[in-house]
Structure 1
Amino acid sequence: MKFIDLFAGIGGFHTGLEKAGHTCVGWVEWDKFARQSYQAIYDTDGLYTATDIQDVKGVDLPDADLWTFGSPCTDISLAGRKEGLKGKHSSMFFEIVRCLEERVQAQKELPAFLLMENVKALLSSNGGWDFARVLIEMDKVGYDCEWKVYNTADYLPQNRERVYIVGHLRKKIQPKYFLGQDKVQQLIDNLREK
């Protein structure tokens, strides 16, 4: 699959997807130090890139099967400002929606999958309405969603719970392409035994 790495940071999604045999075709990151790290870690020659998602036009993004993003959690995190999706930083989620809407309006192909990561507090932010808003916005641009909270403690010596939301382009992709809940649990159990 071809993927675009939005809010790329230093490339957590990029590393995992590349190891799984997928190809990055573009990335967006505004932090200059994260950009320097990303370029040092990955071969970015010839890839689409931009520094500010607010300046990106959805129609200019290269075609890709998957868009990955972890929009800023600053306003959602329990340690943050708690302004939710209305906050200056966490509202950047809506820039992804805008880019998708621009592609719909221009009749350009949408990615078959969306993969969003954020802090677990997204589920309860603003009484749960922020999470509902994420699902509604993804639904409006044509995606059915599944989600699950994972704790890095299941894989690494670190306790960080994150919610992962997978959007499947409606009527085109069926969820069978992803591991079912029982398979994910089996994988976790196998890792714990090693």
Structure 2
Amino acid sequence: MPTQQAPGAVTFADLFAGVGGFAAALSAMGAEHAYAVEIDKHAAAVYEENWKHPALGDVTKDANDAGVTVPPHDVITGGFPCQPFSKSGAQRGMDEVRGTLFWNIEKIVRERKPTLICLENVRNLAGPRHKHEWQVIIEHLRNAGYQVAEESAVFSPHLIAPDFGGSPQVRERVFITATLVPEHMVMDPDPAPVALPEHVLMHREWNLVEDLPMDASRNVAGTEISLDERAWVDHWEQMVVFMRAWRADQSRRTGEPIRRLPGHPIWADAWVSTSAERERLLDGAPAWKAGFLKKNFDLYDGLREFLGAKEMGKWLRRVRQFPESRRKLEWQAQDAESMWDCVISFRPSGLRVKRPTHLPALVAITQTPIIGPLKRKLSAREAARLQGLPDNFSFGTQRDALTYKQMGNGVNVGVVNQVLKAHCERDKHLLLATERGRAIYAMVSSAPDLPREAVAERLDALQRTPDTASAAAVLP
């Protein structure tokens, strides 16, 4: 059974709920569940384990042409499925079935008239390719009586200072926030997009290990680097050493400053010497690829001249035994001395190497990055910290692979907290015009800027409360 609501409490409906990123932010503010739905059984089990509210279900069964069974609520949230708009998907937008799930949200909104809407999706939803879909969403919300900005509002946890809930992760997401316009008031036809105040923003470089923070130990269960992974890194590390020596030699001979390592993609498969081989690679290649190929030809020629054909051939024979994506290097670490000083991500485009300031976005479909200074991968608990979840958030006994996937699909708690605060300030005049709006504004504006402790306290309280629903068994 769901938790009991306090009389007059602000309530929320949590659609596409995952493990509860929106629930964390709103629960920490004092809001209470009216409804939650999540179709993935593993994520739903984690949700109920922590928030003591059932979530397993299908929103299309609760909101469709036959009617809406979602109960009344004050706030509606949802990170609706992003695959139709994501650059990693087919980008069919609303032509895909999953893209039409916005219509189920709209049915709930029109039927229940929540005072505040907060939806989240990948940045690409507001990109040029999906301009039509974006405008359709905005127009339909306005037609339903909501004030919403047409200009997109994109936020990322790495842009927010840690004292305000930020975290060292580049995770750009577009937020659609809207307020129900009271009948006696006039909708602003072109409201400004939600923007975070200057004092909330990050004004220094992140330190991943200290700011997350990461556990200092190199021996964290489930974070081990495989023998193959270590071999890939070590072999490319040898080439980094070669390239640095080559750059130093160039500097000595020319008197010019030492040049950085190449910033373009380095493709070992393009390191060929004959004209015939190069022409074959260039044949039919689009302009962008041809440009990178020519840079690789020049790089190979310079390195082979410096190292000698024998040493170069020895290195190439080894690297060509690796899988195709491991025969590529993307050096984005500027002047870092060693790959093992950096964060290393295994991507289809190659080994991406960055300085250990902040991490690329957690995603559900790729491997977790290697934290070079610690000689291990990011742990599942550290991934949860990146999303703003405190250490008492429980994943039960499920496999770490499921936790990584859930974090890759999740919403960042600190970002939600700051977006809600900024939105309520922008639409303060609308909110203060109604009884439920005043309750929402009072709750959000008085909430802590840093939600982590409040989330942890809420989780503890739910675990102690005897009349909450029994925790669901987290599925293995």
- When normalised by structure 2's length, the TM-score is 0.35
What is the CA–CA distance in structure 1 between the aligned matches of 2:13 and 2:140, rounded to whole Å?
19
How far 1:6 sits from its partner (Å)? 0.5
2:201 is matched by which residue type in structure 1? I
Whether contact under 8 Å (1:69, 1:116) holds in the other structure is yes
Match of 2:96 in 1: 87
Whether contact under 8 Å (2:15, 2:77) holds in the other structure is yes
Query: Cα 1:127–1:69, aligned 2, differ >3 Å: closer, same or farther?
Result: closer
Query: Cα 1:25–1:190, aligned 2, differ >3 Å: closer, same or farther?
Result: farther
Match of 1:150 in 2: 155
Query: Cα 1:10–1:125, aligned 2, differ >3 Å: closer, same or farther?
Result: farther
Query: Cα 1:169–1:192, aligned 2, differ >3 Å: closer, same or farther?
Result: farther
Whether contact under 8 Å (2:37, 2:57) holds in the other structure is yes
- Find the structure with the greater CA-based Rg: 2
Whether contact under 8 Å (1:68, 1:115) holds in the other structure is yes
Match of 1:185 in 2: 198
Deviation sequence 1:7-31 (CA, Å, 0-9, x none)? 1011100001111121121101111
Whether contact under 8 Å (2:116, 2:177) holds in the other structure is yes
Query: Cα 1:137–1:157, aligned 2, differ >3 Å: closer, same or farther?
Result: same
Match of 2:176 in 1: 165
SS of the residue corresponding to residue 34 of structure 2 reads: strand
1:187 is matched by which residue type in structure 2? V
Identity of aligned residues (%): 26
Whether contact under 8 Å (1:117, 1:165) holds in the other structure is yes
Whether contact under 8 Å (1:4, 1:24) holds in the other structure is yes
- Spell out the pairing of 1:61-100 with structure 2 (5 A cutoff): 61-100=70-109
What is the CA–CA distance in structure 2 between the aligned matches of 1:34 and 1:120, rounded to whole Å?
23
1:168 is matched by which residue type in structure 2? T
What is the CA–CA distance in structure 2 between the aligned matches of 1:99 and 1:166, rounded to whole Å?
16
Unaligned runs of 5+ in 2: 1-9, 160-165, 189-193, 212-476
How far 1:125 sits from its partner (Å)? 5.4
Match of 1:54 in 2: 60
What count of residue pairs does the alignment treat as equivalent?
Answer: 181
Residue 120 (str. 1) matches residue 159 (str. 2): no
How far 1:123 sits from its partner (Å)? 0.4
How far 1:96 sits from its partner (Å)? 0.6
What is the CA–CA distance in structure 2 between the aligned matches of 1:122 and 1:96, rounded to whole Å?
16
SS of the residue corresponding to residue 117 of structure 1 reads: strand
SS of the residue corresponding to residue 51 of structure 1 reads: coil
Query: Cα 1:127–1:13, aligned 2, differ >3 Å: closer, same or farther?
Result: closer
Whether contact under 8 Å (1:8, 1:69) holds in the other structure is yes
How far 1:139 sits from its partner (Å)? 1.3
Query: Cα 1:19–1:190, aligned 2, differ >3 Å: closer, same or farther?
Result: farther
1:29 is matched by which residue type in structure 2? E
Whether contact under 8 Å (1:4, 1:64) holds in the other structure is yes
Residue 132 (str. 1) matches residue 135 (str. 2): yes
How far 1:98 sits from its partner (Å)? 2.1
Whether contact under 8 Å (2:124, 2:130) holds in the other structure is no
What is the CA–CA distance in structure 2 between the aligned matches of 1:192 and 1:4, rounded to whole Å?
37
- Spell out the pairing of 1:6-21 with structure 2 (5 A cutoff): 6-21=15-30
Whether contact under 8 Å (1:124, 1:130) holds in the other structure is no
- When normalised by structure 1's length, the TM-score is 0.82
Query: Superposition RMSD on alpha carbons, in Å?
Result: 2.7
How far 1:188 sits from its partner (Å)? 1.8
Match of 1:111 in 2: 114
Match of 1:106 in 2: none
Unaligned runs of 5+ in 1: 104-108
Q: Which has the higher contact order (CA 8 A, sep 6+)?
A: 2
SS of the residue corresponding to residue 169 of structure 2 reads: coil
Moved beyond 6 Å, runs of 4+: 190-194
What is the CA–CA distance in structure 1 between the aligned matches of 2:37 and 2:60, rounded to whole Å?
10
Query: Cα 1:54–1:79, aligned 2, differ >3 Å: closer, same or farther?
Result: same
